[in-house]
Structure 1
Amino acid sequence: MASTPPSKTALSLLDNIAELSDGLKHGRPGAREGLLGACANLISELSHPSETMLQLLWAQPTHLNTLWMAVEIKLFQALEASSESGSTVADIAKRCDKDVDPVLVGRMLRHLAAMGTVRETGPDTFAPTATSKAFAEPAYQDSILYIAENFQPVHQALPSYFRERSFKSPDSGVDGPFQHAYNCKGSHYFEYFQKSNPEMGRRFASMMESWSRGRPRWFYEDYYPVKERLISGAEKDAPFLVDVGGGSGHDVEGLREAFERQLPGKLVLQDRPEIIELAKLGAGAEGMPHDFLIEQPVKGARAYFLHSIIQDWNDEVNTQILKAIVPAMKKGYSKVLVNDFVVPNQGAHWAQTCLDWELMASLGARHRTEAEHRTLYEGAGLKITGIWRHPQSLDSLIELELA
């Protein structure tokens, strides 16, 4: 491309990158995340439209396809045995799961190296990276398979879905793009997993587990002040926290381990019976099968916790979920904690916008702004008493009490 003088935006981004780089060197919170965003914006600003087209329409789709193939032949596991200086394509191919053509392995590795997933150390020689080592783990492998094999049909079906519905945004969990793609109108996303494709559901759950890695947890001291807002003033031996729709207990166990012997009461994990059976909970925590659309059976808990629940449902269902909790709450004592995304009115991060699109495609759901969250909770008889955000996280902790 012909060289042109940098734009004012590019020059401003360069200054911002220099400042953030200094912050990263000195351990300033949020510098890493800011640097990632600024560098991405600079690439976008400097790229010619044809370069952007090649990246979006050629490089990224073939990258996903190559990742899918890599899972099929256990390429990332084969690469793990390589030293820092790397292994030859021929040696890596011998370690793959199938009798795969070394020429094909070489083509895959070259694209993976070009995309930064593996490291090219010499002619036909490749070494693992932190990313490729992670991609050898079962949870990441499941994530690749879920997106590439199970969810791509939903993306492919979006144009026909919207043409049939005059391009109106979906607002139903049983008649959305997912149901259109899989011809299962009337069945919810999670119901489809349970009844029609348990392996797809297992992959999804595994993907959610890998998604949570490396992210600040809501109970971290510099995120939400658990001691000040929950432990202080809590009644001894009363239910302390109920994790409503909490899956296999990721949050309950994390909280229990972080505040071992400091929690004044028990932790309760609630979800569908088959999910509760999979939970492995430590002392002071118990599992309880419960449908969150039915009145909450645990009365007077200090907190009722909803992690990524509100984002999965429309306002009508969410109001029903919240109203099922309200009768169990003790006024002036009990809280509802919502760990979810609060989308800014301007400058939303790509992780928020892409997940919002995935929520629409899978669940007919969406992320909400602060005003939309507030309106939803007020309609259920609750009020927001605080919103906490971590400088290195994109989600929020919304604290609610009875209005």
Structure 2
Amino acid sequence: MASSAAEPTRISQLATSIQEHTAKVDAYFRSHDLPSPSFDIDLPPDLPAEIRQSQNAILEATDELSDLMLGAQQLAEGFPPRHTSLISIQAISRYDIASKLAIDEEITFTELAERCQLPADDLTRIMRQAISQHIFKEPRKGYIAHTAASRVFIEASELKYWAHIAFDEVWQSTTHLLDALDKWPGSGEPNQAGFNLAKNLNVSFFESMKANKRREKAFANTMSYMQKRQGLGNTTSQLLSAYDWASAKKVVDVGGSLGDTCVDIVREHPSVQCVVQDLPEVITEAEKKASSETASQIKFMAHDFFQEQPVKGADVYLLRWILHDWSDQRAISILRNLIPALKNGANVIVQEFILPEPGMLPSYHEKTIRNMDIAMKAVFNSKERSIEDWKELFEKADPRFIYQSADVPAGSNLAIMRLHWEESK
């Protein structure tokens, strides 16, 4: 049914929202004498909460408006084609293209191709695709120069590891997801995923890392990058503010990778002692990168969380972005392996995505979580979970895991779930 002439249409509502929030952002930049966002100037990392909220509102509204303007035909076609748009970003990472061009340099495509030892025609075509996405620019015909987006590949040292995992691991795995569903219907085994077909391997992603140091290092540094990356909603700042860490004498970060979370905890709470646990190869890398500043407060320990927890009687056991890597059966095993170490009153903090009810979030944000869920299935044969799924998982692991609460702090994509261990149950 057509809308009444007096009622604002959805597209006009979205346009009004974009205009109002853009005016707020613009006023903030002007009043603080900051350069307006452009493709050559990135957003400041420390924008106040109200401006971040306007930023999100603009992204949500433009995303929906764009989909409405594309129409049913192009949405059904997946237009614009997202799979091919990733090729140029993968190439920039694989061939380290950004570092071959100085920040303020302007050279021909031919010269850049020579520096990268790639055919000039191929590099030009790939880079022009990147330029269409505002990664690099062509200031005059035949020449290439940096933008804010291409400079990130130089300035964020861990981005190259993220790109390797995102494109050479996750992306390739998703292209084989349906083949894996056909071959192993209903399987939750970690070695029966799209990853296995993409890489022609019979072992899980994590097992494969033991024989491939490049993959292992890339994954550890990717976790570090995603934890520190501003704007992604995965930083530890929300975790620090959502729990009284000062009340804990000892914290065990189970599967804590390079220890970035514990570094943030002890810097803010010097009385806390942390133990960072991960596989031996990851711990070796973590110890190499460890700072002497926190050496007295952070201990690194090789530990497989499918084995019994060796650190007994800690106040907090933290599982941050761990359980979503595993099927329900494996996740339950991880939780049960904590039990012999838990004292009465111990806290288990689980920080993960919580799948929303359909339609509860703007599609811009729901896409992120739904895409993550598909990626987990493709690579690990695992899943993201709803709050009901999480509660059921904790109960199946052991009724003495008393679920207390789940909060999604402002600005975060991850929920913080609190479990209390009660021996009397």
TM interval, shorter chain, is 0.7 to 0.9
Name the residue aligned to 1:70.
92
Name the residue aligned to 2:195.
178
Match of 1:205 among 201, 206, 220: 220
User: Is 2:323 the counterpart of 1:310?
Assistant: yes
Cα deviations across residues 94-145 of structure 1 (Å, max 9, x unaligned)?
5x232642x4443333221111212333333433122211223553233333
Cα displacement (A) at 1:222: 8.2
Instruction: Give the distance between the partners of 1:219 and 1:164, measured in 2 at CA.
Output: 39
Instruction: Give the distance between the partners of 1:52 and 1:178, measured in 2 at CA.
Output: 27
Name the residue aligned to 1:328.
341
Name the residue aligned to 1:34.
57
**Mean alpha-carbon deviation: is it higher for 69-78 or for 212-221?**
212-221
Instruction: Give the distance between the partners of 1:328 and 1:129, measured in 2 at CA.
Output: 51
Q: Which runs of 5+ in 2 are unaligned?
A: 29-47
**Mean alpha-carbon deviation: is it higher for 212-221 or for 374-383?**
212-221
User: Is the contact made by 1:193 and 1:200 (CA closer than 8 Å) also made in structure 2?
Assistant: yes
**Mean alpha-carbon deviation: is it higher for 293-302 or for 176-185?**
176-185
- With the length of structure 1 as denominator, give the TM-score of the two structures: 0.83
Instruction: Give the distance between the partners of 2:188 and 2:174, measured in 1 at CA.
Output: 17
Instruction: Give the distance between the partners of 1:209 and 1:371, measured in 2 at CA.
Output: 29
User: Is the contact made by 1:216 and 1:393 (CA closer than 8 Å) also made in structure 2?
Assistant: yes
Query: Closer, same or farther in 2 for the Cα pair 1:34/1:390, shift >3 Å?
Result: farther
Cα displacement (A) at 1:50: 5.7
Q: Which runs of 5+ in 1 are unaligned?
A: none
User: Is the contact made by 1:384 and 1:400 (CA closer than 8 Å) also made in structure 2?
Assistant: yes
Instruction: Give the distance between the partners of 2:194 and 2:388, measured in 1 at CA.
Output: 27
Name the residue aligned to 2:392.
375
User: Is 2:379 the counterpart of 1:362?
Assistant: yes
Cα deviations across residues 13-71 of structure 1 (Å, max 9, x unaligned)?
2233234334545541432223222211211111145655787464x333322233334
DSSP 3-state at the match of 1:178: helix
DSSP 3-state at the match of 2:139: strand
Query: Closer, same or farther in 2 for the Cα pair 1:308/1:250, shift >3 Å?
Result: same
User: Is the contact made by 2:256 and 2:320 (CA closer than 8 Å) also made in structure 1?
Assistant: yes
User: Is 2:90 the counterpart of 1:45?
Assistant: no
Instruction: Give the distance between the partners of 2:167 and 2:242, measured in 1 at CA.
Output: 39
Letter in 2 for 1:69: A
Cα displacement (A) at 1:373: 0.9
Name the residue aligned to 1:115.
133
DSSP 3-state at the match of 2:286: coil
User: Is the contact made by 1:306 and 1:338 (CA closer than 8 Å) also made in structure 2?
Assistant: yes
User: Is 2:413 the counterpart of 1:400?
Assistant: no
User: Is the contact made by 2:161 and 2:218 (CA closer than 8 Å) also made in structure 1?
Assistant: yes
Instruction: Give the distance between the partners of 1:160 and 1:191, measured in 2 at CA.
Output: 21
User: Is 2:296 the counterpart of 1:268?
Assistant: no
Instruction: Give the distance between the partners of 2:22 and 2:186, measured in 1 at CA.
Output: 40
Cα displacement (A) at 1:289: 1.6
Instruction: Give the distance between the partners of 1:336 and 1:272, measured in 2 at CA.
Output: 20
Query: Closer, same or farther in 2 for the Cα pair 1:67/1:391, shift >3 Å?
Result: same
DSSP 3-state at the match of 1:80: coil
User: Is 2:227 the counterpart of 1:242?
Assistant: no
Letter in 2 for 1:161: A
Percent of paired sites with the same residue: 21
Instruction: Give the distance between the partners of 2:141 and 2:162, measured in 1 at CA.
Output: 31
Instruction: Give the distance between the partners of 2:196 and 2:322, measured in 1 at CA.
Output: 20
Instruction: Give the distance between the partners of 1:200 and 1:382, measured in 2 at CA.
Output: 35
Name the residue aligned to 2:40.
none
Count of residue pairs brought into register by the alignment: 379
Instruction: Give the distance between the partners of 1:97 and 1:36, measured in 2 at CA.
Output: 35
CA RMSD, Structure 1 to Structure 2 (Å): 2.9
User: Is the contact made by 2:173 and 2:198 (CA closer than 8 Å) also made in structure 1?
Assistant: yes
DSSP 3-state at the match of 2:311: coil
Instruction: Give the distance between the partners of 1:276 and 1:267, measured in 2 at CA.
Output: 14
Letter in 2 for 1:81: I
Instruction: Give the distance between the partners of 1:99 and 1:221, measured in 2 at CA.
Output: 44
**Mean alpha-carbon deviation: is it higher for 281-290 or for 147-156?**
147-156
Instruction: Give the distance between the partners of 1:310 and 1:338, measured in 2 at CA.
Output: 8
